[in-house]
Amino acid sequence: MIKTQIQIPDELYKRAKEVAKEREMSFAEVTRRGLEYITSVYPRLQDEPWELPLVRDRGGKGITQEEIRQAIQNNREPKL
């Protein structure tokens, strides 16, 4: 197990201490559980580049996938 130090706002510390007392847990246990929760909720960022989702023909204005990709790369809106 790793031992570390963190800085947290006073109010957050007080609330976490209250949770620990109410649940008869240590402050360290509340902190560990909080970290376990947040790391399970946030998805991992993948090293793979993001791919544009496949555009299906829904009767739109006829913009091709390549036109959308080019607009994104050029940081502009696609021409409709």
- 15 in a domain, yes or no? yes
- 31 in a domain, yes or no? yes
What would the mean pLDDT of 48-61 be, rounded to a whole number? 66
- 20 in a domain, yes or no? yes
Query: Which range of residues forms the domain containing residue 28?
Result: 10-41
Question: What pLDDT, on a 0 to 100 scale, did the predictor assign at position 80?
Answer: 56
pTM above the 0.75 mark? no
In the chain, the number of structural domains is 1
Listing DSSP states for 18-78 in one string gives HHHHHHT--HHHHHHHHHHHHHHHSPPPPSSPP-PPPPP-SS-S---HHHHHHHHHTTSPP
Does position 12 have pLDDT exceeding 60, yes or no? Answer: yes
- 30 in a domain, yes or no? yes
- 19 in a domain, yes or no? yes
Question: What pLDDT, on a 0 to 100 scale, did the predictor assign at position 28?
Answer: 96
